Chain A
Amino acid sequence: MTQEPIGSPEIYRLQVNGESHDVQDAWLGESLLYVLRERLGLPGSKGACEQGECGSCTVLLDGAAVCACLVMAASATDADIVTVEGLAPDAALTDVQAAFLDEGAVQCGFCTPGLIVAVHHLLEHNPEPSTLETREALSGNICRCTGYGRIFAAVDAVVASRADQAAR
């Protein structure tokens, strides 16, 4: 049984949304999700399952969409991390965020940040996904409120508007 304080004297550094953050006095067992939320003031990534099943904590780690709850924070020191807070400058909305609002894809909103990151990731790698490709790409993001219909509509709207802009 430990009598020691839980924090570690080790300091490590994370690159999040283009900024460098020193993490100190942290327990080295902390997940990236915990450190983002509780130490770096970035609570946009949500935790709902702690086992990589729900996607609420989806962030980009060197461009890959990962569940922050499954990443040890202290092991992510060399990665470029992007969270939902880093997708657009303050107060601005990305086209995906705007489409989620226009199409009614937001209810309680707990899954929303993870889904927004996942949709950005999907469309960056596959600008015109088929119905099944969209469904497969988002199948790791659980939404309990919407039944997904409005979320699919939001993805469709972004695909259409990006294609429209590209054609001009």
Chain B
Amino acid sequence: MTEASAPPAATATATETVTALRPGVLGTNAARPDGVPKVQGRFAFANDLWAENMLWGATLRSPHPYARIRSVDVTGAWKIAGVEAIVTAEDVPGQPTYGLIRQDQHVFASGYVRFRGEPVAAVAADHPETCRRALEAIVVDYEVLTPLTDPEEAIAGTREPIHPDGNLIRHQRILCGDPEATGPIVVEGTYEMGMQDQAFLGPEAALAVPDDDGAGLELYIATQWLHEDRKQVAACLGLPEERVRLVLGGVGGAFGAREDISLQVHCSLLALRTGRPIKMQYGREESFYGHVHRHPAKIWMRHSASAAGEIIKIEARMVFDGGAYASTSPAVLINGVTHAQGPYRCANAIVDGYATRTNNPPCGAMRGFGVVQACFAHEGQMDKLAAAAGLTPVEVRLRNAMRTGDPLITGQPVDSVAPVERCIRETDALPMPPDLASDADVLSLPGGTGRTADRGHVVRGVGYGVAIKNLMYSEAFDDYSTARCQLNDGVVTLKFATAEVGQGFLMLAQQIARTILGVDDVMLDTIDTQIGSSGSTSASRQTWMSGGAVDAACRKVRELLFEAVADRYGLPALQLAIEGTDVVDTIGTLRVPVGEASMGLRLDETVEYRHRPTEDLDENGQGNCHVAFAFVAHRAVVDVDPELGLVKVVQIATAQDVGRALNPLSVAGQIEGGIAQGLGLAVMEEIVVTDGMVRNASFTDYLLPTTLDAPTVVFSLIEEPDPQAPLGAKGVGEPPCISVTPAIAAAIRDATGRDIRRVPVRPQDICLA
């Protein structure tokens, strides 16, 4: 059975690299240090934690998308045996609001609730069932208001503000080149994307343990960014940051949904109130209400091009619905508008982007962060352009492919290595899947276990997508990561606050230390706030940023080691190098194992790594606002039953610009996992919201790709090390999930000839088109 494995080419590359290198160093498939406990069930996820004398916490949430709170009566809840604390807005001792970019959301709703599921109160009790009963006994008197749910109404300003900050979170225009430029080919379209959920498997969870003096606490939390959480939690609790210590609880996936505050403040507040440890964990339904989602978007685009199909100008209007609170909407919007051109040359552009505030569920970070929406639109346009110019989808993309140094419509030159043409060509060269057999098993037909598709009706289609994705944070954000490296008696200990959310940073950190310092044993200290920030595990940034910090700290320690060895043997330190696990004299004959050379030494260095500064955009959307870029291409092959509107994604081929594969097996995991999420967005996953109400907050009704939905994945890694990147490697997390969605939509168009403008593609979008 080789259906789902990597193609021979990629496997061969990985194997060759591995055999030439010392086990565990960069470039090998080093083992994850958290792997053994994870397969044994011994790994402590945040919701596995337990403390003596612990209580459970739970949250009361608004049943209405928009309402005024007349009163909250908690007396009934206090009558229930086992209830130890009840807190509402008036019990928040510090800043009443929080938020990643703007502090516009109340810890508990105050005055108004602005989305279905907004927290109103929290309780602590002896048992989850007691908590549930207590929540039921709290009486909230709501004056139900008509929700604002149409983003266009928010833009038009026709409704009273639903929030003091107004109904428009951000508008950004990009004007580039000649706005009058045009060409003989003009194609336009409107593209829509539904609201996707990150659907990490491990629901939100935390354990808060109060200090004995009641003036501080320790919070064990599954998060993406410990220090940002600490800043917001301390502010809301009215405590100095040093009295709030955060420790990373095991994280069951993240994908952007753990960047915002969810239960952190509630759980901490209950712990301070009761003086007892509090455990909180969301169930799946609450998780859907408790974190932000991917922005639903509506994008209009018009491309003007030469008769040869070369893009002359793009015009776009992009509307991202941010829902009730800002979260990261301002940044998501900027990613959307600055990626409107895709990985293609374009000299002229007029782009308007809006992030709106409505009474829909709040939206924020999800893998791909604004670029997913833009890519779905620009790739739909590329296929229209191909048809108008008489080119194939591959030809039109090659003709316009961006090269290193080309400017974006923001005026920023793309000085990252930009192997767009290689991505497209190598994707196209990957083997196609076999034809669907005439006696194919029903499980492999569209509709799968539904066993409804008729083999005779099934048609096959092929589609392409190509993407550019910025790496790291943008717009003048002072982004850095901190790491400490100690070398004592041949053992390295690393400390950082980098959230390991499943991506494998722990393994990568060990690989870096083994490579730089020539040791085999690398200990990892607790991930907590007892060291400087490592920034967020998001934006494909940790390999670059925290990898860069660990690399720099290890190099500094290596310098100290060389100085010590040089002193001892009377050699110039500059002559020394690490070879395998030895310190060697590159000119003479000295060769000392690192373990021996470091005996008795206490070498200790802490480093803050920063990427180069970025700029804000001006009012015309001009400025060097991004740090770096990665590229990827996808080809999708689908089988469709057009009469039933059912789709089976047969195969995804992809070539990805990774810079350098530091752990090829781990890169494969990111590619395959990202593709599954992009497939979900293409044909399965949507949080259905009507009148501000979520209709499918469960895994029964929110459809996630299963083993039967997973396509065969064949891939090729494009390794052109980026000179800016500390390890030559680009982040590989986001690109896999970006252009796969438009590629699948294009394949469905190709199979059926029907106009697919929206994802996820629902059966009625095909059979009634």
Contact = CB atoms under 8 A, between A and B. Distances in A.
A88 B50 CA distance: 24
Interface of A: 1-7, 27, 29, 34, 37-38, 42-51, 53-54, 56, 83-85, 88, 93, 97-98, 100-101, 103-104, 106-113, 116, 130-132, 134-136, 138-153, 155-156, 159
Given A6-B127, A104-B665, A142-B699, A110 B707 contact: no
A103 B39 CA distance: 12
B129 interface: yes
Contacts of A135: 443, 707-708, 710
B76 interface: yes
B126 interface: yes
Interface in B419-446: 441, 443-444
Interface stretch (B115-123, B196-204, B398-406, B623-631): B196-204
Nearest to A103: B665
A111 to B, nearest CB: 5
A152 B3 contact: yes
Contact of B201 (A48, A106, A159): A48
28 contacts: A4-B81, A6-B81, A42-B41, A45-B41, A46-B252, A47-B203, A48-B699, A51-B284, A53-B700, A84-B41, A85-B40, A106-B38, A107-B669, A108-B200, A108-B251, A108-B501, A110-B502, A134-B1, A142-B706, A144-B255, A144-B704, A145-B253, A145-B669, A147-B675, A147-B710, A149-B6, A152-B1, A156-B2
B5 A152 contact: yes
Given A1-B80, A108-B201, A149-B713, A100 B39 contact: yes
A161 to B, nearest CB: 14
Most chain B beta-carbon contacts within 10 A, residue among A51, A84, A144: A144
B31 interface: yes
Interface in B631-668: 665-666, 668
Most chain A beta-carbon contacts within 10 A, residue among B2, B252, B444: B252
B4 A110 contact: no
A97 B42 CA distance: 13
Interface string B1-40: 1111110000000000000000000000101101110111
Contact of A1 (B76, B283, B503): B76
Interface in B686-739: 698-700, 704-708, 710, 713
Contact of A132 (B133, B444, B504): B444
B665 to A, nearest CB: 4
Contacts of B665: 103-104, 150
Contacts of A6: 81-82, 126-127, 129-130
A126 to B, nearest CB: 13
B284 A49 contact: yes
A56 B31 CA distance: 23
B659 to A, nearest CB: 20
B447 to A, nearest CB: 14
B441 A109 contact: no
B430 to A, nearest CB: 15
A2 B441 CA distance: 55
Most chain B beta-carbon contacts within 10 A, residue among A45, A56, A103, A148: A148
Q: What are the 5 tightest A-B residue pairs by CB atom distance, in nearest-first order?
A: A44-B41, A108-B502, A109-B38, A110-B252, A147-B676
A110 B129 CA distance: 24
Contacts of B199: 144
Given A4-B81, A138-B707, A104 B40 contact: no
B672 interface: yes
A142 B199 CA distance: 10
B114 to A, nearest CB: 27
B707 A148 contact: yes
A139 B444 CA distance: 13
B81 A2 contact: yes
B284 A48 contact: yes
Interface string B106-136: 0000000000000000000011111001000
B41 A56 contact: no
Nearest to A49: B699
Interface string B82-115: 1000000000000000000000000000000000
B152 interface: no
A5 B201 contact: no
A158 to B, nearest CB: 12
Given A47-B47, A147-B674, 7 more contacts: A51-B700, A53-B698, A85-B41, A108-B502, A146-B673, A148-B707, A152-B4
A25 B674 CA distance: 45
B4 A104 contact: no
B39 to A, nearest CB: 4
B284 A147 contact: no
B449 interface: yes
A29 B675 CA distance: 40
B1 A131 contact: yes
Interface string B191-223: 000000011111100000000000000000000
Contacts of A29: 129
Contacts of B568: none
A28 to B, nearest CB: 10
A85 to B, nearest CB: 5
B57 to A, nearest CB: 14
Given A45-B41, A46-B252, A104-B669, A134 B201 contact: no
A84 B253 contact: no
Contacts of A113: 38-41
Contacts of A54: 201, 699
Contacts of A101: 31-32, 35-36, 39
Most chain A beta-carbon contacts within 10 A, residue among B127, B130, B698: B127
Contacts of B31: 101
A157 to B, nearest CB: 10
A76 to B, nearest CB: 19
Contacts of B449: 136, 139
A156 B43 CA distance: 25
Nearest to A104: B665
Interface in B445-479: 449
A93 B231 CA distance: 41
B70 interface: no
Contacts of A103: 665
Nearest to B675: A147
Contacts of B34: 109
Given A6-B127, A29-B129, A43-B41, A50 B283 contact: yes
B308 interface: no
A38 B47 CA distance: 10
Contacts of A111: 201
A138 B4 CA distance: 14
B137 interface: yes
B39 A43 contact: no
B591 to A, nearest CB: 33
Nearest to B199: A144
Most chain B beta-carbon contacts within 10 A, residue among A48, A56, A88, A147: A147
B320 interface: no
Contact of B43 (A50, A109, A136, A141): A109
A44 B669 contact: no
Contacts of A139: 449, 706-708
Contacts of B674: 147
B48 interface: yes
A53 B705 CA distance: 12
B45 interface: yes
Contacts of B38: 106, 109, 112-113
A146 B672 contact: yes
